[in-house]
């Protein structure tokens, strides 16, 4: 074979060597091409890399691509080769070409475009487009995305925060620490700053005294009398011009008017006196009370029913029963009598007669108003009519000024009157005096400031201002005022009437008394405000928030350990007074003087975060 090779001419020897040597052996190819006049050196430019090749006359395109694959590992099917002057455009497979050098050119320049990466793998699931999905599939996909975003979010307080997603993370000035204007009615901290504040609150375990958002205008037309958090997290506010506003996700959803019974005749709306949420009743989310009527509303702000009030009265306080959809409400005189109605002295007998008749009619009307104020009406919620009065509890000795609903296993309804009495009512068969329509009086707890010095001596009592049931307990917080004065009877007289006397320490402004309703005993007194406690709300963790009057202007937060006694209360005969706490766990100065309070808990399961909605004059401040 060696002898045969030596007998061949020079050109045929080169052809034999090219066939024997591999195409990837560039050094051998470049060694051979100086002796082969038909070979031309070339350079492959691939991005920033360069590779040397040898191109000979009549070379097949597939051979060149195979040679380039051995150098760059770019698959042949992905290679796009361009060499102006030798072939046009991209080099196509199955053809041959002759290398041609331009004058002054020593090597061919071949441009390579293509990727050596692995071929992309087809997705396991086919791509689905929104246009091809049904409305049910779109809703399910959105719900799944919202659930995943909610898990990653720190909290979800619907009245304060946007839904997790782009609206929350891309809010205006999201990294600023200064308040921003969300819309015409709302301003507050950016959403990401609110998220960070909630994270700090979780780490600290208490409120930070930061106003995160303000709902409404400081120079609005009306004051806010009541606030309520609905079951879906929406915040409802009742104004003294008869308007009800619904707030959610940092914007005002709707404003509705509590129309008076004579609204069709042009009567103006009356002030909203009460606003309570209603859970567990289909189609009804909350109840509002104003002079002349009680109205039922859906979550969207649509009127769902109306219950009339006695003539000339307004709902003073309302409470939803805990064990069934019913409303307890007490009515007070809406407008006081004109003190100057009988200022002029009549000059004849007929005038004196008419004056006497008018004064007698006013006295009878005043007595009717007082009797109405001492009673409590039970309104059934539901049905086609929305609400229907079903029972009227027997009048108390003093006007009922506060109501509280408790679990049925303890006492379903507690009525606080202006004389310091707590009237206990139950429904169905009981051991107390018979009541109307199945309701029975289970007893009376009379709060008294001090013990009688001797038998038969008169005792003084406070006046009940506000009632709130603490979360996860049977403890009732009772806000008191010193305005009641002495009682008409002594302790023996109260005992004869079946009342249990509970002694409370006398404080400067009444304070807040915590009463264990299961044991019917006073646990302690909270006395930290420089004025009468105007309103309260129970915290989700078992604590209590109390708001003082105008001369105090603060909101005090009492911890769960302060509101729950770890020891048995002292017996009434022991002479030991209940403890008085004057140092709250926290004092909030950011809300200021407020008219109403409401807790806005986090809707994420298992979360203990919450915000505090404080009604201050024309606006609602949401504090963290």
Task: Check residue 393 and give its pLDDT.
Answer: 87
Cα separation of the two ends of the chain: 96
| Cα–Cα nearest to 276, from 229, 209, 335 | 229
Task: Check residue 137 and give its pLDDT.
Answer: 86
| Residue 151 pLDDT level (bands cut at 50, 70, 90) | confident
Classify 2-113 by CATH class: alpha beta
| Residue 26 pLDDT level (bands cut at 50, 70, 90) | very low
3-state helix, strand, coil in the chain (%, to 5): 20, 35, 45
Element (H, E) at 349: helix 349-373
Dump pLDDT digits (tens) for 161-195: 988 876 666 655 455 567 888 999 999 998 888 99
| Residue 15 pLDDT level (bands cut at 50, 70, 90) | low
Cα dihedral 138, 140, 142, 147 in deg (nearest 10):
-170
CA 61, 66, 70, 76 torsion-angle sign:
positive
| Cα–Cα nearest to 91, from 71, 68, 73 | 68
| Residue 120 pLDDT level (bands cut at 50, 70, 90) | confident
| Residue 506 pLDDT level (bands cut at 50, 70, 90) | confident
Task: Check residue 159 and give its pLDDT.
Answer: 93
Q: Of the ranges 10-24, 25-39, 429-443, 521-535, which one carries the lowest mean pLDDT score? A: 25-39
Q: Where are the domains of the chain?
A: 2-113, 154-260+594-624, 472-481+502-592
Written in H, E and C, the secondary structure of 79-123 is: CEEECCCCCCCECCCCCEECCCCCCCCCCEEEEEECCCCCCCCCC
CB-based contact 505:431 (threshold 8 Å)? no
Chain centroid to CA 305: 27
Residues of the chain with pLDDT > 70: what percent?
83
| Best-predicted range by mean pLDDT (107-116, 225-234, 382-391) | 225-234
CA 232, 237, 243, 246 torsion-angle sign:
negative
H helices of 374-425, where?
Answer: none
Written in H, E and C, the secondary structure of 479-541 is: EEEEEEEECCCCHHHHHHCCEEEEECCCCCCCCEEEEECCCCEEEEEECCCCCCEEEEEECCC
Chain centroid to CA 397: 41
Adjacent-strand bridge partners of 461: 485
pLDDT at 97 over 90: no
Average pLDDT, the chain: 83
Distance of alpha carbon 315 from alpha carbon 275, whole angstroms: 10
pLDDT at 601 over 70: yes
Distance of alpha carbon 475 from alpha carbon 462, whole angstroms: 19
Query: What mean pLDDT do residues 37-43 have?
Result: 77
Which has the higher per-residue pLDDT, 5 or 145? 145
């Amino acid at each position: 074979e060696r002898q045969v090779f030596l007998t061949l001419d020079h050109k045929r020897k080169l052809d034999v060597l090219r066939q024997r040597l591999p195409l990837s052996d560039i050094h051998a190819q470049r060694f051979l091409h100086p002796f082969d006049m038909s070979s031309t050196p070339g350079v492959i430019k691939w991005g920033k890399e360069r590779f040397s090749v040898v191109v000979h006359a009549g070379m097949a395109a597939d051979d060149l691509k195979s040679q380039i694959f051995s150098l760059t590992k770019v698959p042949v099917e992905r290679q796009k080769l361009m060499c102006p002057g030798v072939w046009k455009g991209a080099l196509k497979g199955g053809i041959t070409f002759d290398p041609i050098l331009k004058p002054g050119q020593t090597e061919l320049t071949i441009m390579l475009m293509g990727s050596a990466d692995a071929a992309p793998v087809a997705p396991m699931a086919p791509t689905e487009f929104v246009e091809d999905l049904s409305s049910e599939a779109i809703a399910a996909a959105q719900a799944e995305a919202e659930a995943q975003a909610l898990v990653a979010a720190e909290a979800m307080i619907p009245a304060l925060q946007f839904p997790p997603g782009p609206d929350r993370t891309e809010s205006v000035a999201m990294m600023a620490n200064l308040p921003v204007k969300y819309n015409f009615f709302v301003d507050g901290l950016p959403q990401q700053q609110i998220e960070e504040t909630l994270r700090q609150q979780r780490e600290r375990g208490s409120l930070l005294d930061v106003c995160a958002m303000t709902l409404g205008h400081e120079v609005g037309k009306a004051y806010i009398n009541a606030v309520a958090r609905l079951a879906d997290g929406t915040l409802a506010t009742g104004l003294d011009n008869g308007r009800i506003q619904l707030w959610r996700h940092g914007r005002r959803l709707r404003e509705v008017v509590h129309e008076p019974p004579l609204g069709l005749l042009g009567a103006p709306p009356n002030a909203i006196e009460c606003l309570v949420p209603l859970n567990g009743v289909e189609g009804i989310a909350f109840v509002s009370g104003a002079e002349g009527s009680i109205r039922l509303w859906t979550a969207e702000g649509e009127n769902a029913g109306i219950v009339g009030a006695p003539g000339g009265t307004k709902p003073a306080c309302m409470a939803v029963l805990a064990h069934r959809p019913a409303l307890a409400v007490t009515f007070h005189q809406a407008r006081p009598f004109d003190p100057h109605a009988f200022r002029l002295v009549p000059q004849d007998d007929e005038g004196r007669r008419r004056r006497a008749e008018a004064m007698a009619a006013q006295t009878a009307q005043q007595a009717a108003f007082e009797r109405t104020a001492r009673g409590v009406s039970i309104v059934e919620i539901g049905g086609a009519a929305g609400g229907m009065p079903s029972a009227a509890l027997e009048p108390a000795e003093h006007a009922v000024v506060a109501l509280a609903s408790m679990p049925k296993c303890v006492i379903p309804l507690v009525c606080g009157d202006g004389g310091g009495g707590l009237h206990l009512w139950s429904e169905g068969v009981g051991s107390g005096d018979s009541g109307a329509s199945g309701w029975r009086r289970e007893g009376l707890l009379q709060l008294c400031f001090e013990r009688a010095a001797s038998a038969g001596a008169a005792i003084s009592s406070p006046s009940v201002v506000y009632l709130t049931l603490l979360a996860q307990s049977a403890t009732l917080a009772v806000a008191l005022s010193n305005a009641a004065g002495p009682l008409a009877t002594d302790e023996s007289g109260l005992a004869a009437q079946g009342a249990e006397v509970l002694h409370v320490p006398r404080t400067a402004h009444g304070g807040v008394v915590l009463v264990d309703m299961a044991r019917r005993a006073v646990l302690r007194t909270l006395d930290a405000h420089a004025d009468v406690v105007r309103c309260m709300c129970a915290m989700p963790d078992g604590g209590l928030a109390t708001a003082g009057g105008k001369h105090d202007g603060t909101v005090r937060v009492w911890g769960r350990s302060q509101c729950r006694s770890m020891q048995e209360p002292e017996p009434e005969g022991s002479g030991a007074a209940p403890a008085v706490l004057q140092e709250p766990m926290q004092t909030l100065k950011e809300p200021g003087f407020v008219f109403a309070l409401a807790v806005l808990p986090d809707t994420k399961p298992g979360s203990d975060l919450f915000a505090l909605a404080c009604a201050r004059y024309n606006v609602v401040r949401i504090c963290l």
